[in-house]
A and B are shown apart, each in its own frame.
Chain A
Amino acid sequence: MAEYFGVRHFSPACAFYVTEFLERVKPDILLIEGPSDLNGLIPSLCGIDANMPAAILAYTSEAPVKTVMWPFAEFSPEYRAMLWAVKRGVPVKFCDLPSDCVLAGENPEKANKTDIYERMKIASGLDNDTFWEYSFEHCENYEDFLSAVDEYGKSLREFSETDGLNGLREAYMRRVIAENEPLGTVAVVTGAFHTHGLKNVPYSKEDKRLTDKLAHINCKATLMPYSYFRLSSRSGYGAGSKAPAYFEMLWKNRLAGHLDNTAAEYLSRLAQYQRAAGFSASSAEVIEALRLANTLCGMRNGKMPSLSDLRDAAVTCLGHGSFGEISLACADTEIGVKIGSLPDGTVCTSVQEDFSRQLKELKLERFRSASADEIELDLRENLRVKSEKSAFLDLNRSFFLHRLLICGIHFGEQLSRSQDNATWAERWRLQWSPEIEIEVVEASLNGDTVEEAAAYALNSRLLESEGLLDASNSLSDAFLCGLTDCVKTAVSAVQRLAADCASPSETGKTIGSLSAAVRFGTIRRINSENLPPLMEQLFLRFCLSALSASVCDKAAAEELVTAFSVVNDACLSHEFLDENRFVSLLDELADSDMANPLVSGFAAALLTERGKISSEKLSELISRRLSKGTPPADGALWFEGLARRNRRSLISRLSVWEKLCTFISELDEEEFKPVLICLRRTFAEFSPSEKADIAENVGEVLGLSKEDAAEFVMAEMSEEEKQTLDDLDDFDFGDI
């Protein structure tokens, strides 16, 4: 004989009443929806030193890794049922398809029930979660509950067509139930959806035929610690819980016999979190929120406020209308940060497996030792070998090591190379230690393979990144790790942040690093086609904002000059950037008296270098900048900007030096001092041969012979000159 109990996964009410059900039925055997080949894991899962949340994880032992998971929380009805059986010594078994058959099928985790819920929403006028809470979670009577769940399962079935996978699963479960029935009373705990398919359909030959020829695949299984966060983020799979911490609260309050305390507790916890975070949250507001939640629930005929009532009331009263104000508190109260733990030796996750397999594939196993060894990688295609795998062995190694770093697994450390510019070479130091094993297990909370975990870690870093620089660093990391999808996410993060805040100098630098990625992307064999459009956008933004940003102080001007230089290089190496726009920006800047003189001078230098400025225009600019009307310090700063690039062409223009000579000779003592500083700084960067050429020019202007002039310029400073220069230390230079 079989007795059935339909549950909703992660429902505290079901968890509570399943025990009562078992007490009443007193079964000889308990069957639970779960992989029937993994019964061996039940004792460790129900052991005293196992703390929920935990999950059963099955994964294919060969690449590509496919995984399937059965997570449990403290308030999972299945877990409570298992606990009950283990305590009473009643045999307990799983009765669903074996894990290897689930993995052999297509998309094992794709239990897409959303449209059923959509349709049910229309029928009841409530969203599914609220409907569930009102009708079941707040139910306080065993009989009522049982009949309500029965009704729920029936309507779930009405609203959905059973697909092939569900049909197969139910056939299999019927078979297991039929096999066990001769042994005594069987209690069957499955999803409410399946109960009807099991109870009302007899086991038939067709079931046997279907389940005799199941496909199998090589796979392994383990228990693994799980987290509330992961439980909530996986709720889309139909086997998660959107608000595990809230449901735990419901569970505990139900156990304690005062379910109606939950609303007050939820709101008080929010308020407490807010206070701890430094916001004001008064008891009066909590009381008002509770009253509002009760009214809201009354308007929908609920008995107690549901999570959505509570949250909406909290937003209105505690959050002053905006969810943003209490979003962190909500995350803490609804999702929580609980992480489960399992006894030692029971965990062997797919990431560990994946890690070892990759070490073998990439021929890195010999580095799995306590001694630190170095390895040189040449990322270019090795043309002497035949298979593609070995041709790119070093590249794949590099991907792997970079991914480990992102996952927080400190197996390898990248060393700097003497030849920094060689993008095709890397040097690493590898060392193994027991802590690394732990780091690998921790990574399994982020994904099922090293690649997945790295992608997850990188994506969450991208979500948190606040500055453009953070995001573009993550973009480079995505390139280094060979994570194509992350590159896409990173590109949109860069785009988002660039629109928000970025100053032109930041934008410029980002253009530079994108340009590098485009130019060197091929060596890492990553498709970089979505970078050019982003660069175009950033470039346009840079051009539009640079002019107004150039009215700035010295420090900002230096940043801007660097950015200009980077953008200029990018503009020269990528045809898709609109050169004309850039040149007309430079034109405007070079001519602008408002802009910082350094930037303005630098713009003139870039124009000269590109040959986009006529000699007349240049000499006009020089005359104006070095004329009496301009403050001398500004003039000198402008000249410094001009001399940053393309010195040869300056040196060859005699007129430049004539003007400079006139400029300097017309200065009086006080004016000369600040100018001297700028000019010294300017000429310090010239090479000796350039200085000699300048001397020649100056000599010609002043009517001296070349040798005499050179002697002046090259001579050591006399004591007197040094003294004068030292005196300048006390001079207040202001902002130059």
Chain B
Amino acid sequence: MSEILRLPAEELYKEELNALIENETNPVPVGWKMSPRSVLTYIMGGKSGKTVITPKYMGDRRLVEICIATLVTDRALLLIGEPGTAKSWLSEHLTAAINGNSSKVIQGTAGTTEEQIRYSWNYAMLLAKGPSFESLVKSPVYSAMETGTIARIEEISRCASEVQDALISILSEKRISIPELDTDVAAKKGFSVIATANTRDKGVNEMSSALKRRFNIVVLPAPADIQTEIDIVRSRTEQLADSFGLTASMPDNSAFERVVTIFRELRQGKTLDGQMKLKPTSGVLSAAEAISLMVNSMALSGSFGSGKVTDADLAAALQGAIVKDDSKDKAAWTEYLENVMRKKGRDYAALYAECKERNS
């Protein structure tokens, strides 16, 4: 097991990437490591020569096609979606496949400054030598332009609007001017930007339409069908439980199925059969949230409980995930329990009783 908590995608899937590059038959765009089709295979899974390529993104193939096509046409790509819909995951793997390097990242925060997008100065050098290329500190976007690769900007809507605006000229002119040195740097072919943004978070800045126009926008949906989502949640839970060394036994299939069903129904605001409309809750009930719920329950029962995830554990975790601080959430949860879960039959009876007790 590696000492590193989390390896970048290009390290983790080095063999797959190499196999794809070796077996390339289609034309490769300037600045890319492989053809658009191979990128698609890398993301969606398949085969390259003898190497099996594991699927990285389980979802709509067409959306990934649109993402890749966007990057081929030198346009910037904006991935929008609710939390936990694999936006950053997809952007990391896209850059890993296209450039073999997913490390040119700017993490958008309320404290991100314009310099972090463009360039800043090494002040010791600046004092010693004055403005020169040596004293210039390049931002990830700057070096991506120089090398003709793709820069990633995470959570772009968390940045202040003036910082977002700094991107406008970069994306339309494809160059950064450095007035201090009386010069500018033009982007090489292959340069592009992948940004991600959240739709449901609070405390974000609205993106200006000027900036939005410079992106092709792809909205990533929650997993399309329940089986996919159950698979995603189970496989990620297994991976995480393994890497954290959790001692509790994996919950059985029905636990995953029930949690994912409840999450999906509340998220979509209707029952799976589409017969009944439900009040949505304020919490974000994404696949990622379901994964962390399962991992947490496992950690709890492993450390303090019987080592098996019980209905009571699930009920407590569900209560915490669904009913945030809002009294509306509680009413919606009560309604869900009474109108939907109570009528789901034997599989849910014990869970229903536990949930009801906690919610009263």
Contacts and interface: CB of A to CB of B under 8 A. Distances in A.
A299 B37 contact: yes
Contacts of B140: none
A299 B278 contact: no
A548 interface: yes
Interface centre among B36, B62, B69 (most CB of A within 10 A): B69
Contacts of A540: 335, 338-339
Given A288-B216, A500-B277, A540-B339, A321 B80 contact: yes
Interface stretch (A208-216, A334-342, A490-498): A490-498
A60 B278 CA distance: 44
A321 B219 contact: yes
A312 interface: yes
B188 interface: no
A548 B335 contact: no
A498 B216 contact: no
Contact of B213 (A285, A291, A495, A500): A285
A492 B216 contact: no
Interface residues of A, number: 33
B277 A295 contact: no
A282 B338 CA distance: 50
B75 A282 contact: no
Given A292-B69, A292-B216, A317-B216, A548 B275 contact: no
B277 A495 contact: yes
Contact of A284 (B69, B70, B73, B213): B213
A288 B75 contact: yes
Contacts of B269: 499
A312 B70 CA distance: 11
B335 A299 contact: no
Given A292-B66, A548-B327, A316 B213 contact: no
Contacts of A498: 277
Contacts of A321: 78, 80, 217-219
A544 B334 contact: yes
A320 interface: yes
Interface in A487-523: 492, 495-500
A322 interface: yes
B199 to A, nearest CB: 10
Interface centre among A284, A300, A499 (most CB of B within 10 A): A499
B68 A299 contact: yes
A497 B270 CA distance: 12
Interface residues of B, number: 34
Given A296-B65, A299-B68, A541-B335, A322 B37 contact: no
Interface centre among A292, A296, A316, A548 (most CB of B within 10 A): A316
Contacts of B78: 321
A296 B64 CA distance: 11
Contacts of B65: 296, 299-300
A129 to B, nearest CB: 14
B217 A291 contact: no
A568 interface: no
A283 to B, nearest CB: 12
B335 A492 contact: no
A499 B279 contact: yes
Interface in B266-321: 269-270, 275-279
A532 B17 CA distance: 60
Contacts of A284: 213
Contacts of B217: 316-317, 320-321
> DSSP class of A's interface residues: helix, strand, loop or mixed?
helix
B339 A537 contact: yes
A492 B273 CA distance: 12
B216 A295 contact: no
Interface string A281-315: 01011001001100110011000000010001100
B277 A292 contact: no
Nearest to B67: A316
B276 to A, nearest CB: 6
B331 interface: yes
Interface string B37-58: 1001000000000000000000
Interface in A248-288: 280, 282, 284-285, 288
Given A284-B213, A299-B68, A322-B219, A292 B275 contact: no
A545 interface: yes
Contact of A312 (B62, B75, B213, B327): B62
A285 B209 CA distance: 12
A540 B327 CA distance: 16
Interface centre among B36, B70, B218 (most CB of A within 10 A): B70
B72 interface: yes
Contacts of A496: 270, 277
A9 to B, nearest CB: 27
Contacts of A282: 213
A548 B330 CA distance: 13
B273 to A, nearest CB: 11
B66 A316 contact: yes
A500 B212 CA distance: 30
Contacts of A300: 65
Interface centre among B62, B216, B279, B334 (most CB of A within 10 A): B216
A138 B332 CA distance: 52
A280 B213 CA distance: 11
Contacts of B209: 280
Contacts of B276: 492, 495, 499, 537
Contacts of A499: 269, 276-279
Contact of A299 (B69, B75, B212, B331): B69
Contact of A295 (B40, B69, B278, B331): B69
A318 to B, nearest CB: 10
B305 to A, nearest CB: 33
A295 B73 contact: yes
A682 B189 CA distance: 82
Given A285-B213, A299-B65, A316-B70, A545 B331 contact: yes
Contact of A544 (B75, B277, B331): B331
Contacts of A299: 36-37, 40, 65, 68-69
Contacts of A500: 277
B70 A292 contact: yes
A544 B335 contact: yes
B211 to A, nearest CB: 11
Interface centre among A498, A544, A545 (most CB of B within 10 A): A544
A296 B66 contact: yes
A589 to B, nearest CB: 16
Contacts of A316: 66, 70, 216-218
A300 B36 CA distance: 11
Interface string B211-244: 0110011110000000000000000000000000
Interface string B132-144: 0000000000000
A412 B190 CA distance: 71
9 contacts: A282-B213, A284-B213, A292-B216, A299-B69, A313-B66, A498-B277, A499-B269, A540-B338, A545-B331
Interface of A: 280, 282, 284-285, 288, 291-292, 295-296, 299-300, 308, 312-313, 316-317, 320-322, 492, 495-500, 536-537, 540-541, 544-545, 548
Interface of B: 36-37, 40, 62, 65-66, 68-70, 72-73, 75, 78, 80, 209, 212-213, 216-219, 269-270, 275-279, 327, 331, 334-335, 338-339
CB-CB nearest 10 A-B residue pairs:
A321-B217, A499-B277, A321-B219, A295-B69, A496-B277, A544-B331, A320-B217, A296-B69, A316-B216, A291-B73
Given A296-B66, A316-B66, 7 more contacts: A280-B209, A295-B72, A499-B276, A537-B339, A540-B335, A541-B335, A548-B327
